[in-house]
Structure 1
Amino acid sequence: MGSISRAKDVYFWWLTQLSAAIIRKHPSGRPWRTMLYNTRSGLDIFAHSTGAPKRFATLPADPTPEDIADCRRSLMGKVDRDPKQILLRLSPNDIVQKTIRVPYAALDLMDSVVDNKIETIVPWSHENTYYGYRVADDLSGDQIDAVVIATSKQLVDGILERAESIGLTPRAVDFAPTPEDTAALDLLNLEPDPIITNAKRLNIAFIAAVCCSLAISLFGGYQVWALNAGYTELDEKIAAIMTRVEEVKRLNDENEKLKEQRERLARRKGDNRPVMELIEALSRALPDSAYLEELEIHDNETRLVGKSTDPTGLIGILESTPEFEDVRFSAPTTREDGQTLGTFSIMGHVQRKSDEEKSK
């Protein structure tokens, strides 16, 4: 959090410096069209003219409602009521003035020097003080003089309240000995600081620029992503097509192999005996004392598993048939104690049909 706070401080300091480089503060003696000059007798209202300022009315120091109404009528249509054109000027009776002397080396630190000396100049607290200063024109010596002008916030607030009662709202407060004096000293600016205002505008502009850049970057990134996604989808489609082509080739190859196998099977079918024929031959050959439990036929090899009172005699019986040859035991015969039947496992080769049988 500390790093973020420091970064924000640096950023706003940079904005303020940039704004100050763009905008110059208003110098002392700023132009005005309506001036409120405070005196012991009241608040004199002047309007700017080609010659000397012209006074149109005076609001007493402690006005009654009738005084306020009379003053409003006197000013109607004669003064500019735009706050930006209204100036409140204090008279010598409203201020405390003192000249201080500081080393020339402290010229760059004059704001801090004056601020630290305010409580030694005025009889009220620092928080209740408006002040300004002007450095003397002579800067040739080791010491420089600065004229400090100070007044109380309570006094200024009271004058501003009286001004607002007649519909006038000053935008600045300064001091000069007379209304005609052009070398006034600024004490208070009631307008927003143009440097701060411009810094806020710059901040909004920078944020907008960053948002636009981010939006453009996101849009560009999306376009690149969409383009890559399109290429990826195209690659996937091409890969899918190539996969289907390879699958078709594979199926064609398999079909060719199956075709060859069917042709071989078809050729062999004429030589091989049907299964039903073998079953019928076994039914005729096997004696009543023998029966089958399993029958397997694979590549003209037949495996018989079953039980018989004379398993050994079955070899000769099957050898004597025209359907079987090379008959042999594929496993030893077994007979459990007390049983008359023995278990046998016999392998035999199925004889091919003879030419005479094929012709039938």
Structure 2
Amino acid sequence: MTQMTTLSPTSLSLARLLDAFSAFIDLAAGFGADLRGRLTRGAAVRVVEGEAGVFTLALPDGTAAFRLDHAAAPLLPEVAAALKGREVELALDSGRFLFRPLELPRGAAAFLDGIVRSQIDRLTPWSAAEAAYGFTPPEDAPDDRLALTVAATARARISPLIDRLKAQGAGAIRVTTQPDGMGAPIRVLDHAASGAASGVAGVRRVLLAVLGGAAGAALLALVVSGLVGGSLDAELDDITQRIAAQRRAMVAARDGQGGAGGQLAALERRKREAPATVLVLEALSQVLPDDTYVTELQMEGDKVEVAGVSREAAALVRLLEQSRQFAEATFVAPTTRAAGEAGERFHISARILLPMEAMR
């Protein structure tokens, strides 16, 4: 009988958290290893394929020609020395590749890598796993579309060349091609250096050590804060008691039991008599027509000034006067019409009847 084990929601959440943390560490380690590699290795060298499969490499004292197929003779010592530990750009002849145009909607610009990968088996005889491919930078096309050119070839056709360069001690290898009539080369494959995995592992160990030290420091800070927390709690209790005493004094003053009772009563009376901004906004929304937009609202005492845009600005004064919430409405400035706007700009002043007079 097979016994099934059911994980609790807490265990599942912890597992997801650990997976996310591990993925973050791997990403950071890869970035750090790549940065360290770029800083430590020398300048890249360019190996260019010419006619009949002959490759050339620029050397300080001239240009060396050689072949990279498995049956070829060993490379010249100066060529092997120039390749060892260096980043290599392997510029292959365009005859090794298929070139296919591709048009996409403009909104696909942020997802070109995934879209091209999904289209490889339709554009070429190979699947995405079997092909080495790349594409040109997208260009604007009619009907709000993007146009680009995809270059692809079978990985099996270029793997022997990469293996030969690796055998000579080359570092990272970038495979490109440049079809006739196109400006920038198309990158079709990136091969990491042989020591990249160990470099990532080393950076990962350093990151884990740093994070472990930070966790230890945080734990120490937590212990110290717990020791100091007793005195802080006492101070907090004292402050709470002072606030409560002040609140009791204010309540007593509001009820007329203290010297400040008159001032608080005056403030309460002013709050009840002054029109609330929310009520004024609600009244304006009921009075103004739907084609009117308020862009500015100023209140001072029982006066309100409203500015905005309306299809019939001249009718707004009449609407405000007819309402039970406003009176003495008048234009503060002449109405104007700006280019490209569907209505007239207005600036109107009125007296507010809220909340007392409107309730009579």
- Which protein shows a greater Rg? 1
**Category of TM-score, reference length = shorter chain:** 0.3 to 0.5
Alignment TM-score, normalising by the size of structure 2 = 0.45
Normalised to the residue count of structure 1, the TM-score between the two structures is 0.45
